Amino acid sequence: MSSSIPIRPAEHFENLERQAHAARLGMWVFLATEVLLFGAAFALFATYQVQFPHAFKLGVEHNTKVLGSLNTGVLLLSSTLVATGVHALRAGHRKVASWLVTATIGLGLVFLVIKGIEYGKHFDEGIYPGGAGHWFAEHHDRGLAEFWTLYFGMTALHAIHVTIGACVLGALLSSILRGRLGQENAHRLEVGAIYWHLVDVIWIFLWPLFYLA
């Protein structure tokens, strides 16, 4: 661990406290945007589910509960680790924080691998977005095409968010390792962690919709 470089606020801020306040508020406003982005997708899902309850039930039953639930566990654990990492950094334990953030990123990758295995399974069975593939030759229920389109669309968008979140945490990890991020400006890690929690929370909603309902 390199020694700490003195940390000053950006020149247009009076002090670090105000800068931290601005960063936090900025992230929360951004989360509002994200919620509305996925909110639109959830509205689409809800409408189609009401129109085609039978097809959506078939689709959910076809998904592998174990993999979806395993992924839920992976993300929940990762969120816990990054939250602990923020506390560690605030307390001045840079080394602990850096390990916790590394583990979080690792779990994010595990999530993506499991998600990829699932996609591979669907493709093998002949399930593609838009009702393409031989699976749909045997399953004719109206609405199945829309279920799988929404499944691929929403989980892929979520996977993109996991990737972005992992990149953000990676950049913050590099800052910790280079001594630019420490106790005084721990808010930066906090802001990244808040984003990671959102990614987690969105999955908490996707999980029941696509695996349990």
Partner 1 sequence: MSTTPLAPAASPAPEASHAPGASPRPVAHPSYLGVDTTLRSWLLTTDHKRIGVLYLVTLLATMALGGFFALALRIEHLTPNATIVSAMTYNRMFTLHGVIMVWLFLIPSIPSSFGNFVLPMMVGAKDVAFPRLNLLSYWIFVAGSILVLLSTGIGGIDTGWTFYPPYSSISATAVPLALLGVFIIGFSTILTGLNFIVTTHTMRAKGVGWMRLPLFVWSIYATSIIQVLATPVLGMVLLFVVVDNGLGWGLFDPARGGDPVLYQHLFWFYSHPAVYIMVLPGMGVVSEVVASYARKNPFSYKAIAYSSLGIAFVGFLTWGHHMFVAGMSKFDAGAFGVLSMLVAVFSAIKVFNWTWTLKRGAVALKTPLLYIFAFLFLFVFGGMTGVATASMSLDVHWHDTYFIVAHFHFIMVGGTLTAFLAGLHYWFPKMCGRMYPERLGMLSAALVFAGFFVTFFPQFLLGNAGMPRRYFNYPPQFQVLHIVSTVGSWVLAAGLILTAFYFLWSLRWGAPAGPNPWGSRSFEWRTASPPPKHNFRREPPFEIDPYDYTQPLPDEVYQ
Complex with partner 1: residue 113 or 156, whichever CB lies closer:
156
Binding mask 93-122 for partner 1 (x = CB under 8 A): ------------------------------
Residue 16, SS3?
A: helix
Complex with partner 1: residue 44 or 103, whichever CB lies closer:
44
- Exposure string of 60-94, with b = 16+ CB inside 10 Å and e = fewer, is bebbeeeebeebbebbeebbebbbbbbebbbeeeb
Cβ neighbours of 156 (radius 10 Å): 13
CA dihedral for 177, 82, 84, 187, sign (positive or negative): positive
Q: Which of 89, 100, 150, 199 binds partner 1 (CB under 8 A)?
A: 150
Q: Is 208 an interacting residue with respect to partner 1 (CB under 8 A)?
A: no
Q: Which of 8, 18, 54, 95 binds partner 1 (CB under 8 A)?
A: 18
d(CA 122, CA 118): 6
Q: How far, CA to CA in Å, does 23 sit from each of 20, 28, 90, 119, 168?
A: 5, 9, 16, 36, 14
Q: Which range in 31-39, 60-68, 187-195, 203-211 contacts partner 1 by CB under 8 A?
A: 31-39
Q: Which of 88, 100, 127, 145 binds partner 1 (CB under 8 A)?
A: 145
Binding mask 38-77 for partner 1 (x = CB under 8 A): xxxx-xx--xx--xx--x----------------------
Q: Which range in 90-98, 150-158, 186-194, 196-204 contacts partner 1 by CB under 8 A?
A: 150-158
Cβ-proximal residues to 67 (8 Å cutoff; 6+ apart), any chain:
114, 117, 118
What tokens were used for 183? 């106790």
CA atoms within a 13 Å half-sphere pointing along the CA-CB vector of 39: 6
CB of 18 to partner 1, least distance (A): 6
Binding residues for partner 1 (CB under 8 A):
10-12, 18, 21-22, 25-26, 29-30, 32-34, 36-41, 43-44, 47-48, 51-52, 55, 129-132, 142-143, 145-146, 149-150, 153, 157
